[in-house]
Structure 1
């Protein structure tokens, strides 16, 4: 069976938007134009996990981000990600991560410790409001945000030269939480015309902490380390669990937008 990746991406987008509830079989059938059983087979073959497992993982990963990014109570977070009581949330979370939600929050610094080490920084962070932007995008699983896989995706979208006026990278997962093999990266561009093979959606729309990476993209992790070091050592901004957006202004200038919790 030949998979229509555009339709598959639409289903994934729908599940991600509605991660806090169980997406019904009829919704998936309506979007994908496959029977639920057939779509389940396609999904598992492509991503090596079931649809229900994917939905559960999204709930718990978003919960983990909220635990370390915000000051919301455990009961509030449980409700926000679709659990109706703290007991069932705590049980599911501990089964997934081998620690309780309360322990995860207390160990926030330990999560970032190995990544940032003793990195020192004078990174300039600005607060920016960004209007919604319509883009055409394609997502891949980029293991641990591997640059070779990301480069290959961009070569597929822009095979000859930089033909789009504005280009963005969408960082959907927090690799310190999400299993490296599940990390997702989206290449997004703006266009007045429909782009075959890409899915139209909106990005931005809200308040962001912006900082800038200068130099080759292959060294961008150093700038992320600077951000997290600054974030952990200073008066902490409350971050949101939604996408981090990279805006590619020039070949060696990348603005990075972290969504802020409001």
Structure 2
């Protein structure tokens, strides 16, 4: 089917313009009528198309992205919480606290106090260290399609948004069987702007690669699989525990291959506190 005979392809391109604008202007007032203009669509219809393509409303996208950024700012900066709240669009600190707690499970002040990025291996008050469920699994090869992402791993959501909008345009959303991120560099040793990653999905039928996407492959074999529950902003804590604590007693060596994260559920469907992520690290 040609681009002219499939209106969803045009819708996907228009929605992608909107999501690019949202990511680039997250600190600004994002008026729905203005977003409709960027999409070159009727204000009456465009948000319905947006939700059909991405599974959430524009307002939900903005809220999710702003809260995700706020979660990172709370534990990596000393900015006043009220300033972070205003940047998120909440001049009322009580409103921000209520919204943040609903999505992340605890209020922003408690989130900052835990300092999950600042002191990632800090013992719990009872003296125990943070623990995670890790299993060694033999995984099969994965053949996937996806989009490259350059820059901060915390911003790979933009690549996933583009990926899913293009899949919607190709009428392939129903074929998605798994969603994962492929991470090629160590953020502790590579400059943020040089980090390489990819937003990927496994399709039920991957005989053809949808236009605009690339093929990706992960090798099968033994993997250490750490199951993490909670916001993506906390994953760094899990990584450091895996490498500094679990690996010491595991009796296994790492294999020279990229690690990846399998996203078991969808951040558009569950609160951040309920997100499940499987960190898959290749072993010899």
What's the TM-score, normalizing by structure 1? 0.50
What's the TM-score, normalizing by structure 2? 0.46
Larger Rg: 2
